[in-house]
Amino acid sequence: MAPIFWRLIGFAVLSTAMAPSAISEASSRKSQNLTRDDILAQGLKIWRKPGAIDGGAACATCHSPDGIDLAAYNFDDQDIARRANPHVGYADAHLLVEYFHALRTKLKLSPLRDPIRDRPLQPGGEVLPGDTPAARDLAFGKELQSKLPLLFGPRIETMDQARAAEAELLTLNPAKLKIGIPLNRLSEDQAHGDEHASIAQWLPEVPPNVPKDKLPQWYAAEDKYLADPSQANLRQLLLDHGKLINTNVMVGIDAISVLKFRGLLVLQDRIRNNTETQETGLSGDLAYYPDDNSFWNVGDLTRDVIRSDPQRLGMDKLTQSKKSGSIPLAQQLHQLRVSWFWLAWLSDQGLFMTSHDDKVRLGMWLSQSLSEDGPYPIHNVYANARRQAVVSNELTSWGEPKVRWRRIWDFAGLRSFGYQSRDLPQDPDYRQLTIAFTANCFRMNLQLLKKEILDTHAVWVKQSARANVKELAAFLTRYDPDDSANTAALSAELSKLIDGAKERNDFNPQIPLKSG
């Protein structure tokens, strides 16, 4: 079933057919002889009841196991009844009204969230100000400037200064750091204006239907999770859904909808367990089960279809009409990709547990998104600097503590794949702030590479280390010419160190792993 609160079908008719007084009276008559436990039990049955539209999908097909994702938001009774009615009928829609009231009390969901203003898992609780990506990226730079003074201050010229800057970077919790990227709302719908006609939302556009003969098995798994909402049971729920619905045989919007649903399972768990703002990047997180980050998968599939038209996405006419407003489809896809990629990175800041693909682990697809979906140049450099710092200092971020995969770049791998030069702003103040931050991040990592080679007498891959040093040094020479002599000297020193170092990889286990 498409999300019951944002369906346009029947909106105009039902909004006039059911006045608020009639709704409250009907709800009261329906539930006046029921206890709260009765309402909760009957409401859950309706939540899982096959619907009258969308191929018989239930509310639970697109939402959380018990509806906590919607109960946590301040949808009023009229919205709930009006939008549930086409799916489950008038009487059951009104019992759902009572169900959500009971669920809010049971789960202590207070205060309720504003469905328009709230953006789930938005770091810091709100988006930094600005009407354009450039304005918000500049605001992010100013936000960072006060929190990372070493990286925005004088040139980093020594190994000790580099270590202090890295420690400062690691101390800052990105889950609580306000950013300039507006993450997707829980739901978007044209009923609230053309600016809300978008697929850039958490809820699926197409019901990710579990095969009917497997529904008892699926609901049993959901019941087990609801009885004990542990990380292990959530992970099992995600694994079970992956076995029941194979997105590899799907295309476009169908597959995106299934992956969104799995991401929504993670979100509702964080709401349930009050873990939305926890530090997640260093020791594992619920967004992934082994090698399969639920948030990343949405962004990555969107990357594959980023230039698709509605037909190639497999959008039927009804979905096209609902998502055709003031935001072009191409822009919707860009908003979808960057939001889910940032969420995925927050959940696995080293990007090692997300995939074995080098382009994922090295931040290439993340950098591409932050460039093409913005651009957000300061966000881009920050995310990659943090990624490298996490990978270099936390063995748990690798996923497999005793194995470091062969093509893992060293500190000089912080290069954002050329986007740091391509996306430099033209506005003088914004440009200078971006250059100052980028240059110091590059200096920091060159100094850290120097220290690591001196400590271990080894590099991961000599060829890549040389290429990375060359690229970082080229940026420093071009955009900070006053310091070109020091840059040249450091670059030459690193070249000699790399030449004299051992090359370590999977097949050289005697080289000790760096532990921090």
Percent of the chain with pLDDT over 90: 64
pLDDT at 292: 82
- Burial state string for 228-242 with b = 16 or more CB within 10 A and e = fewer than 16: ebeeebbbebbebbb
Query: What is the token pair recorded at 498?
Result: 């790399």
| Among 177-186, 292-301, 406-415, the range of highest mean pLDDT | 177-186
Instruction: Record the tokens describing residue 412, joined without a space.
Output: 């000089």
Share of the chain above pLDDT 70, in %: 85
Please give the backbone phi and psi of residue 441, each rounded to the nearest 5 degrees, phi first.
Answer: -60, -40
Q: CB–CB of 95/42 below 8 Å?
A: yes
DSSP helix/strand/coil, 75:
coil
- One-character DSSP codes across 322-368: HT-SSS-HHHHHHHHHHHHHHHHHHH-TT-TTT-S-HHHHTTHHHHH
3-state secondary structure of 120: coil
CB of 64 within 8 A of CB of 211?
Answer: no
What are the domain boundaries of the chain?
4-106, 130-172+385-516, 182-208+243-375
C-alpha to C-alpha distances, 508 to 397, 455, 503, 513, 515, nearest whole angstrom: 21, 17, 8, 11, 17
How far is 182 from 90, CA to CA, in rounded Å? 36
Residue 178 contacts residue 127 (beta carbons within 8 Å): yes
pLDDT of residue 504: 72
Nearest CA to 341 out of 396, 392, 299, 383 is that of 299
Would you place residue 496 in the very low, low, confident or very high pLDDT band (cuts 50, 70, 90)?
very high
pLDDT category, 84, cuts 50, 70, 90?
confident
Mean pLDDT of the chain: 86
Query: Can you read off the two tokens belonging to residue 420?
Result: 């740091």
Q: Are strands 458-459 and 292-293 parallel, antiparallel or unpaired?
A: unpaired
Q: Is the pLDDT of residue 415 over 70?
A: no
Query: What angle, 0 to 180 degrees and rounded to 10, lies between the N-to-C axes of helices 294-304 and 329-347?
Result: 150
Mean pLDDT score, 26-38: 69
Please name the amino acid found at residue 355. S
CA 426 to chain centre: 29
The sign of the torsion formed by the CA atoms of 426, 427, 429, 434 equals negative
Mean of the pLDDT values across residues 251-261?
Answer: 95
**Per-residue confidence band for 279, with pLDDT thresholds at 50, 70 and 90:** low
Residue from 206, 213, 405 nearest 316 by CA: 206
Q: Average pLDDT of 287-291?
A: 65
pLDDT(382) > 90: yes
User: What's 17's DSSP letter?
Assistant: H
What's the average model confidence in pLDDT over 252-258? 96
Answer for the pair 421, 475: CB distance below 8 angstroms, yes or no. yes
- With CA atoms as reference, report the closest residue to 203 among 253, 241, 237, 272: 253
The arithmetic mean of pLDDT across residues 229-245, rounded, is 92
Selection from 418, 511, 378 nearest residue 457 by Cα: 511
Q: Which residue has the higher pLDDT, 266 or 397?
A: 266
Rounded to 10 deg, the angle between the 428-456 and 377-393 helix axes is: 20
CA 26, 30, 34, 39 torsion-angle sign: negative
For residue 5, is pLDDT > 70? no
| CA-based nearest residue to 143, from 174, 184, 185, 182 | 174
- 443-470 pLDDT, tens per residue? 999 999 999 999 888 888 888 889 889 9
Give the pLDDT band of residue 110 (cuts 50, 70, 90).
very high
Cis before 375? omega within 30: yes
For residues 346-369, give the mean pLDDT: 88
Average of per-residue pLDDT across 322-344: 95
CB 27 within 8 A of CB 77: yes
Tokens representing 487 are 């840059």
Is 44's pLDDT higher than 70?
A: yes
Q: What is the mean pLDDT of residues 91-100?
A: 93
Q: Which residues pair with 292 in a beta bridge?
A: 289
CA distance 69 to 264: 8
The span from the CA of 407 to the CA of 417, in Å, is 16
Judge residue 266's burial from the number of C-beta atoms within 10 Å of its C-beta, 0-12 exposed, 13-18 middle, 19 or more buried.
Answer: buried
